[in-house]
């Protein structure tokens, strides 16, 4: 980040923008291309509107309000005493961390930079604020070059190119890997380790009409309480009456009544949700996509949708252990989730 903006010049190699060495540009001409959203947004004493205008003091109210919509400042502006004319203390006292970040995003949007620099822009935020700010950053990044520095890898999953940095045996910085999020999950152990370490914790618990995972509830509750994490119940029901079921390699066997199985499954899922909520946990019911090729594909996509860090399942599927192990390795490799397999008999004991 410092090299791009020429706070430092490289001792070897060069930094270019559109093929032009940044050292051949004037500092003013170079830095006019940048908009910065940093970890700590500096707000000064003055109105909210003036804080947004920081990079363009001549901007009119309409331009300020347009930038505020991009930064989602408009979502909390109505709660302020005088709206855009609310006077802020130095440092933005009275605004939450997420609100300050959104003011910073609106400030960058008003400047309309060709290149956006995001330096740990969400690292100091809680989960709810991070989700709100990430939405704002996605809007601001659209249609412009964006350089992101982040340990929270959720914010860079959609990047066109991710560069994983590390250190060599002498402590010097080196490039460990380069690729997209999906490529790095497949190819870079360093990225997988970072992704697992810094992603927010959440638990995915699959369940189906012929796959009862209630034995895993104690494990799920323990993990969710330890990490203060939400639980996503992946509901593979209902079972199709024609037996065309792709879930866990199991199809409807002759003599089994699909409506009865589905009713029992529905009641089981509802009880599972109640039991989890009774423990004070946040519960979300998700369903596999209709076009999933099989249960492995459905599970991987559910992990991606929920950003689950842990998947807890029960070892009672009607497929061979070798096939199950191969499927688990595929899920772990492609989604960087920690797969926990519970023995149903041990869980009962």
Residue 251 confidence (pLDDT): 41
> Which domains are assigned to the chain?
33-150 (3.40.50.300), 161-199 (no CATH), 203-348 (3.40.50.620)
Q: Which residues of the chain have pLDDT under 70?
A: 124-129, 241-256, 316-318, 345-349
Q: What sections of the chain are H helices per DSSP?
A: 27-31, 48-52, 61-70, 74-77, 97-111, 127-141, 181-187, 189-198, 217-227, 258-278, 295-306, 321-335, 344-348
Please enumerate in sequence order all residues whose Cβ is within 8 A of that of 71, keeping only pairs 6 or more positions apart, or say none.
102, 103, 104, 105, 106, 107, 108, 109, 136, 139, 140
Q: How far apart are CA 184 and CA 186, in angstroms?
A: 5
Predicted TM-score of the model (pTM): 0.65
Q: What is the pLDDT of residues 97-147, one digit of tens each?
A: 888 888 988 999 999 899 999 888 877 666 666 777 777 788 888 889 999
Residue 249 confidence (pLDDT): 39
């Amino acid at each position: 980040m410092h090299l791009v903006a020429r706070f430092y010049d490289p001792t070897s190699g060069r930094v270019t923008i559109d093929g032009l060495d940044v050292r051949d540009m004037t500092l003013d001409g170079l830095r006019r291309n940048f908009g910065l959203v940093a970890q700590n947004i500096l707000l000064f004493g003055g109105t909210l509107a003036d804080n947004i205008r920081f990079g363009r003091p001549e901007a009119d109210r309409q331009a300020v309000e347009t930038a505020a919509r991009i930064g989602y400042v408009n979502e909390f502006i109505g709660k302020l005493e005088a709206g855009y004319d609310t006077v802020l203390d130095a440092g933005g006292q009275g605004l939450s961390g997420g609100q300050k970040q959104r003011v910073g995003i609106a400030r960058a949007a008003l400047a309309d930079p060709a290149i956006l620099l995001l330096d740990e822009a969400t690292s100091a935020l809680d989960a709810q604020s991070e989700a709100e700010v990430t939405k704002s950053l996605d809007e601001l990044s659209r249609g412009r070059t964006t350089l992101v520095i982040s340990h929270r890898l959720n914010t860079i999953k959609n990047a066109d190119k991710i560069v994983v940095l590390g250190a060599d045996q002498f402590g010097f910085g080196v490039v460990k890997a380069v690729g997209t999020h999906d490529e790095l999950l497949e190819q870079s152990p360093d990225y997988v380790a970072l992704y697992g370490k810094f992603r927010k914790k959440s638990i995915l618990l699959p369940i189906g009409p012929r796959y009862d995972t209630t034995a895993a509830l104690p494990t799920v509750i323990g993990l969710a309480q330890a990490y203060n994490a939400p639980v996503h119940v992946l509901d593979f029901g209902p079972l199709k009456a024609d037996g065309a079921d792709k879930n866990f390699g199991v199809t409807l066997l002759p003599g089994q009544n699909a409506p009865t199985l589905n009713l029992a499954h529905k009641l089981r899922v509802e009880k599972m949700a109640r039991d989890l909520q009774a423990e004070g946990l946040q519960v979300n019911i998700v369903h596999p996509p209709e076009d999933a090729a099989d249960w492995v594909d459905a599970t991987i996509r559910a992990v991606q949708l929920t950003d689950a860090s842990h998947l807890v399942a029960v070892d009672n599927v009607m497929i061979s252990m070798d096939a199950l192990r191969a499927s688990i390795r595929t899920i772990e490799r492609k989604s960087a989730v920690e797969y926990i397999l519970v023995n149903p008999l041990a869980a009962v004991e």
